[in-house]
């Protein structure tokens, strides 16, 4: 079932303000995408994490295990790609909490989380710009549920790769994640998390070259 595209709201003013400012970087440039060619490439490094909030304290879940690739194009807005990671590889520094996380996320039934890039919208920039602000339009799949999402991101280009960094709020209940309260309510986790993506794609040797 298709859901209308929307930006998930976080009930924390800090992240709401951050998201609005990030979107503002590209809001006036819907028809002025950066005209720099981007080679195709494969995922070369990844740090995927989330900030969680529980009644017994905040915590961070992190994984460095992921797969992905990007298909280049004549301009940044024509690039497509995907990143996928095994949910069971997320660690929080607490074994019991890690076990609860895997149970809540039903990792045996829904082993992966994934983002598919459908379109990148960039702020107006010179063709040779090495750093760009962008909004990544695509689909996020968590717990077997796929939703349209718009992610503000920063892109940094070198002659051999592109690094993509982003932070955005997610409401777990939007992805039908339940079981956030355990032990008769003594331990409970906020449904709102903040996801952080820091990934690099190494350009294929046959297409890589000096920055434009």
- Name the pLDDT band for 9 (thresholds 50, 70, 90): very low
Residue 149 has a pLDDT of: 97
Give CA–CA dist 212/157, Å, rounded: 9
Range 101-107 average pLDDT: 93
- Rg of the chain, C-alpha, whole Å: 18
Instruction: Give the distance, in angstroms, between the CA of residue 195 and the centroid of all CA atoms in the same chain.
Output: 7
Domains and CATH numbers, the chain: 13-23+39-203 (2.40.128.110)
Residue 34 has a pLDDT of: 55
- Inform me whether the pLDDT recorded for 15 exceeds 60: no
Residue 29 has a pLDDT of: 36
Residue 56 has a pLDDT of: 81
- Cβ neighbors of 183 (< 8 A, separation 6 or more) are none
* Sheet strands (E) in the chain: 41-54, 57-63, 67-71, 80-86, 112-122, 131-142, 145-157, 161-171, 181-182, 187-188, 192-203
Asked if 92 contacts 101 with a C-beta cutoff of 8 angstroms, the reply is yes
pTM beyond 0.75, yes or no? yes
Residue 162 has a pLDDT of: 96
Place of tokens 């503000």: 152
């Amino acid at each position: 079932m298709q859901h209308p595209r929307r930006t998930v709201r976080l009930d924390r003013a800090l992240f709401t303000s951050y998201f609005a400012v990030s979107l503002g970087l590209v809001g006036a440039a819907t028809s002025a995408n950066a005209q720099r060619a981007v080679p195709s490439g494969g995922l070369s490094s990844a740090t995927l994490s989330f900030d969680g909030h529980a009644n017994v304290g905040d915590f961070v879940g992190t994984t460095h295990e992921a797969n992905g690739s990007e298909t280049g194009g004549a301009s940044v807005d024509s690039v497509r790609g995907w990143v996928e990671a095994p949910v069971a590889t997320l660690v929080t520094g607490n074994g019991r909490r890690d076990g609860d996380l895997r149970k809540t996320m039903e990792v045996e039934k829904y082993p992966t989380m994934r983002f598919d890039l459908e379109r990148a919208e960039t702020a107006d920039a010179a063709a040779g710009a090495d750093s760009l602000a962008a909004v990544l339009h695509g689909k996020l799949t968590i717990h077997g549920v796929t939703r349209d999402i718009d992610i503000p991101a920063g892109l940094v280009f070198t002659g051999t790769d592109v690094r993509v960094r982003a932070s955005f709020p997610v409401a777990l209940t939007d992805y039908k994640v339940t079981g956030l309260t355990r032990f008769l309510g003594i331990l409970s986790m906020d449904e709102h998390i903040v996801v952080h993506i820091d990934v690099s794609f190494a350009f294929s040797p046959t297409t890589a070259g000096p920055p434009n």
